[in-house]
Amino acid sequence: MSRSRWNLLPPVPDKLLANNTSGFSPLMVQLLYNRGLTEPSQLEAFIAADRRMAGNPFLLPDMHRAVARIYQSLLSGENIAVYGDFDVDGITATALLVRGLTALGGKVTPYIPHRLTEGYGLRTAALENLYHQGISLVITVDCGITALSQVKRARRLGLDIIITDHHIPLPEIPPAVAIVDPKLPDSAYPFSELAGVGVAFKLLQALFQGVGKEQQLDELLDLVALGTVADMMPLRGENRYLVKQGLELINSAPRLGVRELVTQAGLDIGSLDSERISWVIAPRLNAAGRLEHAMTSYKLLMADSLPEAQGLAVWLEQKNAERQKLTTSALAKAREQILAAGISPLLMAGDKDYPAGIVGLVAGRLCEEFYRPAVVVKIGEKVSSGSCRSIPEFNITLALNQCSRLLSQFGGHAQAAGFTLPTKNLNRLEQRLSQLAAMQLEGVDLRPCLDIDAEVGLTDIGGDTFQTTQQLAPFGYGNPVPTFLSRGVEVIDCRTMGISGEHLKLKLRQGGVVWDGVGFRLGSYLAEVASSLDIVYNLEIDRWGGEERLRLNILDFALAS
């Protein structure tokens, strides 16, 4: 039995193939169709990923109001605060908006709350402090859409709030001067999946258009790419354009802080892609906020001297190593809790010693391993905080909404959320979430779904197939690396590899063609390898010993059907 549910995506309609005038191969048309492109005119635009994908910023809700209020503050010399979040999306959005508003002559103060002492989102105490510092306008980035009481308090103080966010609003929205969020019900914006930094960029775009300086914003696209990829926003539509342009900037002319961070991570400028941002760069930028204060990462992105950038990058590298150790330890403990309680539709682990900054990482690992929604809680004496990660079949934020009476605060996306609550409510929350999961997941095959782009033979994927499919990059959430299925492949050789034999190394043959393959983290399934297999895989480049060779990255396999 395969470890995943294999979902072979439906074939491209004959009409689209017949109307393909772009010269794309049938396989490329299939890959583009699988990514939601159903009209011939869309195919070339997707590959080009140019400004045609960018929407008019004034189609976003309240954009005219936001621009008018910010122009007023710039002309009158008001003190402005940019209030961000402590993850990479929030940090990059804060840096971007501070850079942009400062370039327009603004007097701007950045504010990012402390994850451990303040928590996520707008905080009344922080707003009061900003007001007493002489701030008269606060612009949020990547937060604020659910901050009803906080914005009401700010209004009573005489503090104006402009919210820019990309999270889902509640039925009642805060009484801010303007709310710029593509997920508002009345939004006319053609693309709703911008990251927080993407929404902040559209605000700057509207402001800079008004003074004829829009081209200056190109130098900020690296920040947009970092935040969008790190926040796992779908790399389709406008995000594809923003990330592609931003990656080109990072690889050709990186800002000082990014260059030093890349150096510390042992990577090379010029070879950075969305995968390396997700797995190498983003964790380091996140490490500051997880263990201490995210302002260190903000300062790195804003650094304009080499010694400062080097010092901050070294510090972040050390914090990331510390974060890895803490995560490994907490994961082992949480896993023991889960197994002792028995695997249920929803997994929940809690402990007073779990570091609050890494509970989301632990929840993510549990969710990935067991394919269940997972909740990990830092238990406090009076107040506890939790982080949730979920699977596509269970919307964790909707579930938390049904438990809102038990919670002090909550928010997030369908598959990632967080909350705080009185510790006395923790048992009732676990019971209620478990009930909801049991009802909604009853009868569901709880194995991850593996979408397959096309069924091909090993003889069909040689030549320029790999180079051609690279036109679809940048890859990431919403635009995955193309995945193929080949049936009845002969296994010439198979063995384990790695220090503890955790990976599989295979030599495969079909139709007179021989390929090398590697199955990462599949070493424990060596006994299930037969002489003939159906395999699901990606194409990838194996760089070893100064040479580059194509190989198959085996994602799953089963006995030949």
Q: What string of pLDDT tens digits covers the 561 residues of the chain?
A: 678 999 999 999 888 888 777 778 899 999 999 998 888 778 888 898 888 899 999 999 999 999 999 999 999 999 999 999 999 999 999 999 999 999 999 999 999 998 878 877 899 999 999 999 999 999 999 999 989 999 999 999 999 999 999 998 888 999 999 999 999 999 999 999 999 999 999 999 999 998 888 888 999 999 999 999 999 999 999 999 999 999 999 999 999 999 999 999 998 898 899 999 999 999 999 999 888 899 999 999 999 999 999 999 999 999 999 999 999 999 999 999 999 999 999 999 999 999 988 999 999 999 999 999 999 999 999 999 999 999 999 999 999 999 999 999 888 788 899 999 999 999 999 999 999 999 999 999 999 999 999 999 999 998 889 999 999 999 999 999 999 999 999 999 999 998 889 999 999 999 999 999 999 989 999 999 999 999 999 999 887 777 888 999 999 999 998
Torsions phi, psi of 395, nearest 5?
A: -80, 105
CATH number of 514's domain:
2.40.50.460
**423 and 526 inside one domain:** no
Q: Residue 458 falls within a domain, yes or no?
A: yes
Q: How are beta strands 383-389 and 5-8 bridged, if at all?
A: unpaired
- The domain boundary residue, chosen from 220, 249, 284: 220
**425 and 484 inside one domain:** no
Amino acid at 433: L
**421 and 378 inside one domain:** yes
Q: Residue 334 falls within a domain, yes or no?
A: no
Question: Which residues, other chains included, contact 279 with Cβ-Cβ below 8 Å and sequence gap of 6+?
Answer: none
Q: Residue 470 falls within a domain, yes or no?
A: yes
Based on the structure, what is the number of domains in the chain?
3
**406 and 455 inside one domain:** no
Domain that holds residue 378: 343-440
Tell me how long the chain is.
Answer: 561
Per-residue burial over 41-59, b = 16 or more CB atoms within 10 Å of its CB, e = otherwise: eebeebeebeeebbbebee
Q: Residue 551 falls within a domain, yes or no?
A: yes
- The domain boundary residue, chosen from 220, 249, 265: 220
CA angle 123, 375, 6 (to 5 degrees): 125
Q: Residue 547 falls within a domain, yes or no?
A: yes
Give me the numbers of helices (H) and strands (E) for the chain, helices first please. 19, 18
| C-alpha–C-alpha distance, residues 159 and 97, integer Å | 19
- The domain boundary residue, chosen from 155, 188, 220: 220
Q: Residue 303 falls within a domain, yes or no?
A: no
Q: Residue 327 falls within a domain, yes or no?
A: no
Specify the pTM: 0.89
Amino acid at 182: P
CATH number of 76's domain:
3.90.1640.30
**453 and 436 inside one domain:** no
